[in-house]
Amino acid sequence: MTRTSAYKFTVQMKDGQPVGKDADLVRGLRLVVKMGNLAYGTTNYVKLQGRGHRMGNRRYNQSLPLQYAETADVYVYERRS
């Protein structure tokens, strides 16, 4: 059970980038969102939220930078003005 309908899937990360087939999944989702935005005039975007060990650094309690992430959750959000 997910907390939000914006969650799509989780990908493996290395050096701040999705790896292997996960990179293709993210690239494909970004393309689908882009085409949907053009076709329907929406303003959706794809966000990767880093997950993994915080290394004891309190700065990362809110958000873990992708360069340090072991995995990332992928979300599609509607941009609000």
Condensed to tens digits (0 to 9), the pLDDT of residues 25-65 reads: 999 999 999 999 999 999 999 999 999 887 777 777 778 89
pTM exceeds 0.85, yes or no = yes
The residue extents of the domains of the chain are 7-78
Looking at residue 54, what is its pLDDT? Answer: 79
Looking at residue 81, what is its pLDDT? Answer: 74
Hey, what long-range contacts does 15-21 have (CB within 8 A, 24 or more apart)? Answer: 15/67, 16/65, 16/66, 16/67, 16/69, 17/66, 18/48, 18/72
For residue 2, pLDDT over 70 is answered with no
